[in-house]
Amino acid sequence: MTRNSLPIPPYESSIFAKGNQPSAVVVGLQSETGNLVIGQVIGRVVCEMNYQSCKWGEQHIRQQSVEGHLLVLQSELKEAIDGWMKNSTGRNSVESEITQVAAVAIQALINIELAKMSQMQRQEQYDEDIPQ
């Protein structure tokens, strides 16, 4: 799969485009506007996770270590700061880069949970294999 055939997350149609700021401060799911904003943000993060899966391959992402995810997070955060300082647009915008940070962070948490589940399954299998 080439870079050009990857799905591009819809950052240009963002609810945070100039002049279209949310009307409420979102602290949680406490208002209809909050629900809408959170849903749209989570949708963008999920799109980015799918994009990264297509770009890097699901196996590569699943096998990434915690340390590897932390290095990627550090790099993406630096890119977000650069995007903010340079007032970049598109895939290099601060919004896009923060979305990438969130996607990597969530994937890291998913991998941690999967590792815990796998460890529990291995322990259960080990416990079953030991004669009583």
If the chain, 132 residues long, is cut into consecutive pieces of 10 residues, what is the mean pLDDT of each piece?
49 45 50 80 94 88 88 95 93 94 94 88 76 66
How many domains, the chain?
1
Q: What average pLDDT does the chain have?
A: 79
Which pLDDT does position 51 carry in this prediction?
Answer: 94
Q: Please give the DSSP secondary-structure letter assigned to residue 2.
A: -
Which residue, chain included where needed, has tokens 């460890």?
A: 119
Treating both helix axes as pointing N-terminal to C-terminal, what angle do 94-129 and 32-56 enclose, rounded to 10 degrees?
A: 70
Query: Is residue 1 situated within a structural domain?
Result: no
Query: Is residue 89 situated within a structural domain?
Result: yes
Query: Is residue 90 situated within a structural domain?
Result: yes
Query: Is residue 3 situated within a structural domain?
Result: no
Which pLDDT does position 126 carry in this prediction?
Answer: 73
Query: Is residue 33 situated within a structural domain?
Result: yes
Query: Is residue 84 situated within a structural domain?
Result: yes
Range of the domain at 83: 8-129
Residue 123 is encoded by which pair of tokens?
Answer: 């322990």
Query: Is residue 34 situated within a structural domain?
Result: yes
Which pLDDT does position 82 carry in this prediction?
Answer: 94
Query: Is residue 53 situated within a structural domain?
Result: yes
